[in-house]
Amino acid sequence: LVYPLADQWHVALTLRTGHLNDHAGQVSFPGGGLEGGESHAECVMRELEEELGVAGEAVRIAGQLAPVFVFSSGYLVEPFVAVAPERPRFRPDPFEVEQLLEVPVAHLVDEANYRVLSLRRRAITYRAPAIAFHGYHIWGATCIMLGELIGVLRKAMPACPRATEPQ
């Protein structure tokens, strides 16, 4: 979900509660699995309302990003971009959402916030790109989806800062 706040565009992310089965304590987009014959777009709107309390009438789907396979959980994520003309009245579900993170797009495109994490999962150590935000690291599938979103925004808005080329 992308929306204006204080004269800047923001992206809504969640810090997942620590008791969830998948991706507990991680920063993510609202989302979840398909239910009862619904389309991917319908699932996105339902999950946005369930997790953040944002009704479908308050937003419109602007497009879809490339699917992302999440190795650790085995999910194939079908990400969509929704836009709200103003900041929605958020009502996060305390069972799933520990904290709402409202991340300015300007923060996401600023390379000073980019990191490389060293992570260990199931006896495998690997490095992963991340974006630092207020003491949290946005990494994994969320970081991959944000990377594509940033690329789309840069094409749509030429004034959006561009990453410098590596030297």
Q: Which pLDDT belongs to residue 32?
A: 84
Residue 87 DSSP SS3: coil
For 36-62, the pLDDT digits (tens) are 999 999 999 999 999 999 998 989 999
Side-chain-facing half-sphere of 5: CA atoms under 13 Å: 18
SS3 content of the chain, % helix, strand, coil (to 5): 25, 35, 40
For 115-124, the pLDDT digits (tens) are 999 988 788 8
Place of tokens 């994520």: 77
